[in-house]
Homo-oligomer: A and B are copies of this chain.
């Protein structure tokens, strides 16, 4: 993955077609440039701009760039810990990407657009692809959703060996993205396949299938979240699960079915999962979007008979970072479940509302599933 990442991050181009384009402008300045000591220099040639700054998950606040006499702006930060960070440039008041970096994060709304900076450490990170490790596949489906009335995309991870083991039925995790994102977020930003490939190679998880649907029932911003979530739940239960069970060798017992999600998707996984014990035995939320005022209503089914809920739930796990604006809601959920005598694990961690946290939660949660 190191070389693949280098390929994808490579910041200038002088390929074979350039010979056909003699008028091609000279290569833009390299940005971001990652030094061996993990300092990072951001650059932008912008003689006409009057202020450029950088914001990013590697620091708090914004850092102004300095302009030289040729109009080349730059700033150096670091040294940065090995990690995958999002960052943005703000050019004369407009928040946008680093135009010099091909590694762009996008999603279902513009607020998620950012550039991606990957800082590598000495060895392999838990989210890195490794050439010598067996790798699963990501399959993308276009399926007609009767619930939504349109064609939608669905992303599915199958573990290494899935095709070869034609008689094996696999457990299945339904895994949801957050607001502003889409059905490729868990692979593109979450590295779900690489994390699970690595955990499998280390013997820390059993092989299972992961299903990642698109989490909006209505177009983002076109209606209230409740309506979107209700339609999404219908799509999941009436379209996605039957579609997956018809096309994949997944185990269809509740014992072998888990549900998890992050942020908006964490609200969805907890509410759908705890309302459908007949379908899900293992339920998790990462930095879940929860509204304490709705707990009694949303989780009425689960708290009506705590003894039965505890008997049926093999796992109820939720995590939140202490710097996340949703942390108080997670604390309230912890108190709500305790008050109602529902067995659960509340994982309080460092961190904010970021993929850095969610990649780690995935690696912490999945060894607990399907045991």
Q: Footprint of B on A, CB under 8 Å?
A: 1-4, 6-8, 10-21, 27-28, 44, 46-51, 91-97, 99-104, 106-113, 129-132, 135, 137-144, 148-153, 163, 178-180, 182, 187, 193-194, 197, 214, 216, 219-222, 224-226, 228-229, 247, 263-264, 267, 289, 291, 325-326, 329
- Tallying the copies of this chain within the complex gives 2
Given contacts A12-B109, A50-B92, could you give 7 more A-B pairs where the C-beta distance is less than 8 Å? A3-B151, A7-B219, A10-B108, A16-B264, A91-B92, A99-B113, A137-B139
B142 engages A221 (CB within 8 Å): no
Query: Nearest Cβ in chain B — how far from A149, in angstroms?
Result: 7
Query: Nearest Cβ in chain B — how far from A22, in angstroms?
Result: 10
Complex CA–CA separation, A3 to B152 (angstroms): 8
A151's partner among B129, B153, B214, B226 (CB-CB below 8 A) is B129
Query: Nearest Cβ in chain B — how far from A270, in angstroms?
Result: 12
Q: Which of chain B's residues have a CB closer than 8 A to the CB of A99?
A: 94-96, 110, 113
Q: Which of chain B's residues have a CB closer than 8 A to the CB of A11?
A: 109-110, 221
Known: A3-B148, A48-B50, A132-B144. A16 touches B228 (CB 8 A): yes
- Residue of A96, A100, A226 ringed by the most chain B CB atoms within 10 A: A96
Query: Nearest Cβ in chain B — how far from A324, in angstroms?
Result: 10
Q: Which of chain B's residues have a CB closer than 8 A to the CB of A50?
A: 48, 50, 92
